[in-house]
Amino acid sequence: MKKKKKSLIWKITSPSNSNSNSYLVGTMHVRDAKAFVRLEDMYQCIDATQVFATEFNLEEANHELTANRLDLKEGESLENLLGEKKYQKIKKIIRKGFGLDISFFNQSIPFLLINILTEKILSDDMQSSLDATLWEYAKQQEKTTIGIETLGEQMEILEHIPLSYQIKQLKDLAKNIAKFKKQIIKTTELYQEEDIQKLYKKVNKSLGSLKKLMLVDRNILMAERLSKIVEETSICFAVGAGHLSGKKGLIKLLKNKGYQLKPI
């Protein structure tokens, strides 16, 4: 990707309303200060638009409902899924590598544990994640705040990821913690460099057979909903940076609908 197209912020211009500009902003869902590299520019995008959106409405998250849907089915546990011997081995490895006792997550789906381990690699410098920080700023500026997807839709996607796949991911992580940490740090570096093409390739590779479920189908849905909103008002949409690039990325999908997108 050409250097000029290495950007986390893209201006969207509608062919039917060139005077109304919207913005597509790539984020990381973390509290590490490294992800806040273009915070002030993102604030300006919010200031210039009427609506601010994240992947789902952050205020509608029902914590109890979400927690229940992140639990394994009754009678299942990580220990049973892994087998006692493998469970004890991974428990020891993770305690040594992350200082975390996975016993607290014995009834949770493996992806929740993997996500928590990912967060432990990064710093928690900021009070809130980048998405939540932008959301709060938009609220302070009295912008309309919405979600492009629903939390329920995201939970349904999670429920379609086979447990066998999640268990394999956890085993691979425990097999080579150094490699896992290196990959997370590399992802953060690519984000800081605003290299959305390499970020997409990294996400695409990591998803494997789940690419259609977790990336492509979601991008198509979000592009469709976003395009309808852009025709009605100006919007700043903050979405995980891995969704921006690629043939089925939001930038390309919106261009295919006739919108002009320019890197900021």
CB atoms within 10 A of CB 64: 7
Q: Which residue has the tokens 């920080």?
A: 133
Amino acid 191 reads Y
- The average pLDDT across 76-84 equals 95
pLDDT of 60: 81
pLDDT for 66 beyond 80: no
In the chain, the percentage of residues whose pLDDT exceeds 70 is 96
Distance CA 213, CA 94 (A): 29
Amino acid 155 reads M
147-173 pLDDT, tens digit each = 999 988 988 998 899 999 999 999 999
User: Which residues lie below 8 Å from residue 124, measured CB to CB, with a gap of 6+?
Assistant: 31, 32
Q: Enter the DSSP assignment of 5.
A: G
pLDDT for 85 beyond 50: yes
pLDDT for 46 beyond 90: yes
**Percentage helix, strand, coil, to 5, in the chain?**
60, 15, 25
Q: What is the DSSP string of 28-46?
A: -SS--GGGGTTHHHHHHHH
Amino acid 75 reads G
Structure tokens at 227: 């395009």
pLDDT for 189 beyond 60: yes
CA distances 170 to 62, 84, 128, 164, 199, Å, are: 27, 15, 26, 10, 22
Label residues 20-59 b or e (16+ Cβ within 10 Å = b). Answer: bbbbbbbbbbbbbeebbbbeeebbebbeebebbbbbbbbe
The model's confidence at residue 64, banded by pLDDT at 50, 70 and 90, is: low
The model's confidence at residue 208, banded by pLDDT at 50, 70 and 90, is: confident
Q: What is the DSSP string of 70-107?
A: TBPPTT--HHHHH-HHHHHHHHHHHHHHHS--GGGGTT
Structure tokens at 260: 């002009």
Structure tokens at 258: 């006739």
pLDDT for 136 beyond 60: yes
Label residues 116-155 b or e (16+ Cβ within 10 Å = b). Answer: ebbbbbbeeebeebbbebbbebbeeeebebbbbbebeebb
pLDDT of 68: 74
Q: What is the mean pLDDT of the chain?
A: 93
Which among 111, 91, 94 has a CA at the least distance from the CA of 168?
A: 111
pLDDT of 27: 97
Instruction: Kindly report the pTM of this predicted structure.
Output: 0.92
